[in-house]
Amino acid sequence: MSRFVEDFKTFLLRGNGIDLAVAFVIGTAFSAVVTALVKDIIMPPIGLLLGKMDFSNLFVVLHQGKTPEPYLTLAAVEKAGAVTWNYGLFIMALVSFFIIALVIFSMVRMVNRLYPKPSAPVTTKDCPYCLTSIPLAATRCPNCTSQLSDSH
């Protein structure tokens, strides 16, 4: 058991645990911002364009609750104890996902631009006699038929 504790301590002190914790906290905060952006900024105008539709209150009742329908809001459904299929919340979650995916894609793309592109591997060499490009493994030039030494 002490070996496990030592390994875990090494893991945490190497920075992996701290990096993971920081990424988790930042990801949670970012998720809260995106959720608020979707719920409070993006979805209201879309709902207004679609006839004053509130996506958070889009649901289908699968099983009646204690009180009979109609349930006008998701809060009323939950209060009545009805079983619902909340497709409006799912739509909002999809929009949040696509926004997060777009932001992450943009960030990865920007970071990738900072790194130099790897150079293409060398697969050819020039014949020292006729200067024609030939494969690296060639022992004879296909153009001038010169025998190539190992040093070329």
- Report the distance separating Cα 9 and Cα 16, nearest Å: 11
Other beta carbons within 10 Å of 125? 15
Distance CA 91, CA 120 (A): 44
pLDDT band at 150 (very low <50, low <70, confident <90, very high): low
What is the domain partition of the chain in residue ranges?
Answer: 1-53+89-118, 57-85, 121-152
**What class does CATH assign to 1-53+89-118?**
mainly alpha
Do 132 and 126 meet the contact criterion of CB atoms below 8 Å apart? Answer: yes
In the prediction, which pLDDT does 151 show? 56
75 pLDDT higher than 90: no
User: Averaged over 27-56, what is the pLDDT?
Assistant: 83
- Lowest mean pLDDT segment, chosen from 13-17, 72-76, 87-91: 13-17
Q: Which residues contact 92 (CB under 8 A, 6 or more apart)?
A: 38, 39, 43, 55, 56
- The pTM of this model reads 0.55
Question: Rounded mean pLDDT of 42-64?
Answer: 83
